Amino acid sequence: MKKSSLLGHAAEVVAIVRDGYRPADTVIADFFRDRRYLGARDRREISAMVFGTVRHYRRVDDLAAAAFATVPDSGPRQRACLMIAAYVLHLAGDTSADTPEALQEFLVTGLGPDAAPQVLEQLHGSTGTHDAAAFPAERIARKRSFPDVIIREWVERWGEADTDALAAALNEQAPLSLRVNTLRGTVDQCRRVLADAGMSPAPGALSPFALVLPRRIALDTLVPYRDGWFEMQDEGSQMLSLLVHPEPGATVIDACAGGGGKTLHLAALMENRGHLVAVDTDERKLLNLVKRAERAGARVHAVLSPRRDEAVLRRYRGKAHAVLVDAPCSAIGTARRNPWLKMSYVQERSVQLAATQGVLLDAAAEWVAPGGRLVYSTCTLLQRENDDVVTRFLERHAAFSLQPAYEVLARWGVAVGRASPYLELFPHRHGTDGFFAAVMVREEAPASAR
């Protein structure tokens, strides 16, 4: 397909994302499903332009602002055209010889022959206005395409330089990290199996169970994946299961199991010995977890809650050696995988999530046995959903005390900073998604279990 047509398709997707605030990956999947004439290469190029534009949405909007004012009969579709063009010109690093002609043809089609030359000239000369912002937080927010309220919090907590580096890292593409399924074999064995399949994975930088693939590939084409040798999982996410530190033979509950990536890791750490219970409110996710568990050879008891199997949940009250609450959150720490999260962030939603997180922790605490461990985690980097939730929980539950996360991880040979009792992971420091976790230990039995 001609490059100008690919630009047009990308603009169409961006217009849909801007108009409806649906996640870009969902919009793209629906878009491609309705256009089966697009080949694999076309889809890759369209996806790259869409995700790049969404990732830098404030920056490209800023770059396109002056040109947009000159477009007659301008609307969402025209705005999307200008955003795509601004991204290609200033941020995509596209030096292809056919790009200038393709942009000209694309803008003529999208904006009309009279407006296109002037708009293209203005876009070439545009530098945006982020450097003129009055305050550092606003300047960083515009430059890195983050909501002002998030950047203000980060600047207050970590300073301008660290915040800018963090936001820049969250705009980079995430590495292809996988977790070796030790129910199938060792890390070295998996590495050899992948090498035999034509891949050359490198060791992870943080997790002892991680490998990093050198290039993107359709997982279903890899026999080792179909045979359950590994799961795609960020190294930061792998740290959460290590914090649970489940012993073989223990009773462990994953209270917000979701798709089950951490559940399967727990099963491997437990060597399929003991009782591993996966709880979630989404039946579709649990069914997917059951399929993944079959592929991985993992033994997991999946429980749909609160609508069913309440008797099963009551069975474990005060008896679990460890409980993981990987709570639903604003997920800003995963923005490099889903940049739409930045566009759709609403502070009121974060406040609501913090309240829900507290409720989930209170409920999960009932399952923890004396001496047992309660691990709370999120993939966000906002204090109200992290530190504040834990602080309020500990105020309500005197039987629990905080255990430094670095002490638990040291048992796995993982060294992290000791400045905080929490686990805090950042892409610009650790190469992972952004994660927060707290480890709490129960010192006495809950009243309902006495």
CATH number (3.40.50.10860, 1.10.940.10, 3.40.50.10800, 1.20.140.10) of 3-128 reads: 1.10.940.10
Kindly state the tokens that stand for 212.
Answer: 């990093």
Residue 377 phi/psi, 5° resolution? -145, 155
Q: What's the token pair of residue 133? A: 């912002």
Q: Is the pLDDT score of 154 beyond 70?
A: yes
Burial letters for 178-203: b for 16+ Cβ neighbours within 10 Å, e otherwise? Answer: bbbbbbbbebeebbebbeeeebebee
| Of residues 293, 347, 339, the one with CA closest to residue 149 | 347
In a 3-state reduction of DSSP, which class is residue 149? helix
How far apart (Å, rounded) are the C-alpha atoms in residues 237 and 378? 9
pLDDT, mean of residues 275-290: 93
Parallel, antiparallel, or unpaired: how do β-strands 423-425 and 435-442 relate?
antiparallel
* Separation of CA 372 from chain center: 29
pLDDT digits (tens, 9 = 90+) for 215-273: 888 888 889 999 999 999 999 999 999 999 999 999 999 999 998 999 999 999 999 99
pLDDT at residue number 418: 82
Ordered by start, the domain boundaries in the chain are: 3-128, 131-169, 176-232, 235-449
CA-wise closest residue to 330 among 394, 258, 383: 383
The pLDDT of residue 260? 93
Q: How far apart are CA 43 and CA 178, in angstroms?
A: 24
CA angle 171, 176, 180 (to 5 degrees): 145
pLDDT at position 378 over 80: yes
Phi, psi of 368 (to 5 degrees): -75, 130
pLDDT at 409: 97
Q: Which CATH entry fits the domain spanning 176-232: 3.40.50.720, 3.30.70.1170, 3.40.720.10, 2.40.280.10?
A: 3.30.70.1170
**Residue 447, pLDDT above cutoff 60:** no
pLDDT > 80? residue 450: no
Strands 251-254 and 400-403: unpaired
CATH superfamily of 235-449: Vaccinia Virus protein VP39 (3.40.50.150)
pLDDT of res. 184: 96
Residue 240 to residue 244: CA distance in whole angstroms: 7
Rounded to an integer, the average pLDDT of 162-181 is: 96
Question: What is the pLDDT, as a whole number, of residue 74?
Answer: 72
Q: Measured between alpha carbons, how far is 270 from 19 in angstroms, rounded to an integer?
A: 47
Percent of the chain surpassing pLDDT 70: 96
Say what the pLDDT of residue 134 is: 67
Residue with tokens 């922790």: 361
Taking only the tens place, the pLDDT of each residue in 60-110 is 998 888 888 778 667 888 899 999 999 999 999 888 888 889 999 999 998
C-alpha dihedral over 72, 74, 77, 81, to 10 degrees?
A: 60
For the chain, the C-alpha Rg in angstroms (whole number) is 24
311-332 per-position pLDDT tens digit: 777 889 999 999 999 999 999 9
What is the average pLDDT score of the chain?
A: 92
DSSP for 113-147 reads TTHHHHHHHHHHH---SGGG-SSHHHHHHHHHT--
Question: H helices of 136-260, where?
Answer: 136-144, 148-158, 160-169, 187-196, 223-226, 235-244
Residue 132 has pLDDT above 70, yes or no: no
Instruction: Tell whether the model's pLDDT for residue 433 goes beyond 70.
Output: yes
Three-state DSSP at 445 gives: coil
* 402 pLDDT tier (thresholds 50, 70, 90): very high
Structure tokens at 166: 């963090």
